[in-house]
Structure 1
């Protein structure tokens, strides 16, 4: 569904869009702690490549929770699961929604690029890796990635061991490029850490006997959820959020038919964006309000468009990396990026430096202090706040 240059009615006002998104993300008023899994569902998952960032994302949206509560929900109650989510990156997802996410993500075509052709897995090899991973994880003790690698290579042979995948510490074996695919297929999720090492286990331990949802139904539901939390938006925005081909995303939006309602985009460029037709008026009852300190790769900033409105002016230069959101921790005012911040932990203390791009009002300065206190509470640390320049690099 290509963006139209013909004005659509009604027009989505930017303050109204921000207010609705903040409400859907529980960033206007935090939700009760008991609704943690619902909040994570509304986000489309909490990015957890940096676990402390995921804990902050969830904690800022739920009243009174700390990192211990997030970890309890993940490792003890198992209402959350850590696995490979949108974009093939590590996320926390509601455990009860594993059928939805595995049904949808396994059906998303690759956006292109990646490894040289000679290093890639073909379809048959990918299937073999997924089956080997699933078989290797039918053990009582969740293995580390090195232990899992040994088990997979033992099952598949030398071709799986070829060191052709660039990693953080050298070249990884060929099979590792299908690690996130195994997660998307429901063969793998993360297990409890073993010291500083991550482990992997079977998702059946979180949701015994689960079966991935029908792909078409799952993809349609994920698209609707994206629009409910990040809309109004277009297929290109959805494709970027999911790391999917644009044409494929346009076809998916087109398949939703009358389930979508076109509106004129808030950027005023004449483009058309879409919201769910079964929703009420797109304008919330109140204007957006509030200041937040959002962590790396927070769902709100990663999924929200248009970028020029979410990251206006200097915010685009300071808080985006070639258009990619999330590589910098940001201060938002009324749903718009208005500064950056940094944290450095030392024992029981966490030093927070916050830099606003403009002058904050006394009320907003008070909110910065409140947010710093809340960050400390979530991280179970004593915060020390400094207002001043942030000159640290981006998290890539």
Structure 2
């Protein structure tokens, strides 16, 4: 490129988003595996998000629940596990080792050290590190025998999991914590257990646990570039700030991984705003043949994919669409930008409201209404309330 950086403007970024995030009609996927591979990670903190995010991108949305459950619990081609920023995601199973080595190892060491410190201090030394080692070995053996189990079921096999300790003694947030709740989270971050089938419907947040399937142990220096390469192919161009936020890594790790994959710098704003794409992703991307509409759920990986979001989400829309912790609620998209929000009413109807109306006439509104009707149809008798509720979602759902 003779030292001249290619410029990728907002219009091309929206075109990339439409195609690579499988949001325009012709780009929709046939299976949940294709969706997960395209997005790298599906947010799993709210169980319903996984299904809604997949359904928005499938050719046949009516098969969403059955197909996601097949992939997660029968074929095991998708796995729900802790990943970036201590968050639960659903990943393609072949990425489990990469995610664990690139982000999980450092998080796991901190999580275990914190548990041991809190447990020993909060029990006046009654519960020790040696005691915990014995209890967790017993719990994992019980889990292996059962195949899948809730924490309640595991405590029947290993009653010591019910032991409690005081967290934050003397502080305003002082509380009693149970060994089981903290230990299972630590084991999850360590990649030793994963979430299994939920209790009840697919919207349930009460999960069984299962022993994690075996995967190779990769060096972090090998895994981090690999994860970054996957993500840039899905979401590039991205700035260092985007990459640091999404991965939860130190900026030095981000820069080392960018160098390792030979990432190419581009500009997002004339004269500045450096971002990166992979070395084989410099060619211009044409927009979809037809404009498109989408209704995406709270915490959708597209809406949450970048830290710097002004190119697809106008700042004035954020107060209505985000909660106080920065979690996005259900969003309405038109042709690569967020233009409003949606909610499901108690009677099952999906309703929506535009917050940005420039360029949105009758034809565009009809396309959005078609997507709302599509979503209403496949939800059927299911009722979905986002785990993290936002001002507009609350207002619309009343």
Q: Which bracket does the TM-score occupy, shorter chain normalised?
A: 0.7 to 0.9
Give the distance between the partners of 1:376 and 1:44, measured in 2 at CA.
27
Task: State how far apart, in whole Å, the 2-side matches of 1:363 and 1:126 are.
Answer: 66
Query: Pick from 254, 260, 263: which aligns with 1:260?
Result: 263
- Give unpaired runs (5+ residues) of structure 2: 122-128, 384-390
Q: For the Cα contact (< 8 Å) 2:329–2:393, is it kept in 1?
A: no
The structure whose RCO (Cα within 8 Å, separation 6+) is larger is 1
TM-score (norm 1): 0.78
Is 2:108–2:189's contact at 8 Å kept on the other side of the alignment? no
Map residues 320-359 of structure 1 onto 2, 5 A cutoff: 320-321=322-323, 324=326, 326-346=327-347, 350-359=348-357
Contact in 2 for aligned 1:296/1:329 (Cα 8 Å): yes
- Asked if the contact 2:350/2:372 (under 8 Å) is kept, the reply is yes
What is residue 69 of structure 2 aligned with on the other side? 71
CA drift of 1:35 comes to 3.6
Q: Is the 8 A contact 1:164 1:174 kept in 2?
A: no
Alignment of 1:1-396 (within 5 A): 9-29=5-25, 34-65=30-61, 66-109=64-107, 119=118, 128=133, 134-148=140-154, 154=160, 161-164=164-167, 171-173=176-178, 176-177=181-182, 179-195=184-200, 197-204=206-213, 209-256=214-261, 259-266=262-269, 268=270, 270-284=272-286, 286=288, 289-321=291-323, 324=326, 326-346=327-347, 350-359=348-357, 360-381=360-381, 390=392, 392=394
Aligned-partner SS, 1:263? strand
**In 1, Cα distance between equivalents of 2:291 and 2:130:** 51
Please, which runs of 5 or more residues in structure 1 have no aligned partner? 1-6, 384-388
Structure 1 pair 391–95 and aligned structure 2 pair: CA distance change class (3 A): closer
Q: Which moved more, 1:352-361 or 1:10-19?
A: 352-361
Question: Partners of 2:246 and 2:159 in 1: how far apart?
Answer: 33
How far apart are 1:231 and its partner, in Å?
A: 1.2
Q: Partners of 1:172 and 1:344 in 2: how far apart?
A: 36
Distance 2:130 2:15 in 1: 47
* Cα distance, 1:313 vs structure 2: 3.5
Which range moves more in the overlay, 179-188 or 220-229? 179-188
Distance 2:328 2:222 in 1: 32
RMSD: 3.8
Q: Deviations over 1:103-132 (max 9, x none)?
A: 32323458999979953899x789948766
* Pairwise CA distance, 1:173: 2.5
Contact residue 67 and residue 379 of structure 1 kept, 8 A: no
Distance 1:76 1:189, change over 3 A: same
SS in 1 for 2:146: coil
Native 8 Å contact 2:115 2:183 kept in 1: no
- Relative distance call for 1:131 and 1:88 in structure 2 (3 A) is farther
Deviation at 1:365, TM superposition (A): 1.1
CA contact (8 A) 2:293 2:333 kept: yes
Aligned to 1:386: none
Q: 1:149 to 1:218 in 2, by over 3 A?
A: farther
Matched length: 365
* Structure-2 change in CA distance of 1:8 and 1:315 (3 Å): farther
| Mapped contact 2:85–2:248 kept (Cα < 8 A) | yes
Distance 1:33 1:313, change over 3 A: closer
- In the alignment, the residues of structure 1 paired with residue 31 and residue 193 of structure 2 have an alpha-carbon distance, to the nearest angstrom, of 26
SS in structure 2 of the partner of residue 162 of structure 1: strand
**1:7-29: per-residue Cα shift (whole Å, max 9, x none)?**
96111111101111221111113
Give the whole-Å Cα distance in 1 for the aligned partners of 2:316 and 2:336. 16
Per the alignment, in what secondary structure is the counterpart of residue 26 of structure 1?
coil
Q: Is the 8 A contact 2:321 2:328 kept in 1?
A: yes
1:256-283 deviation per Cα after TM superposition (whole angstroms, max 9, x unaligned): 3xx11101124x5722111111224143
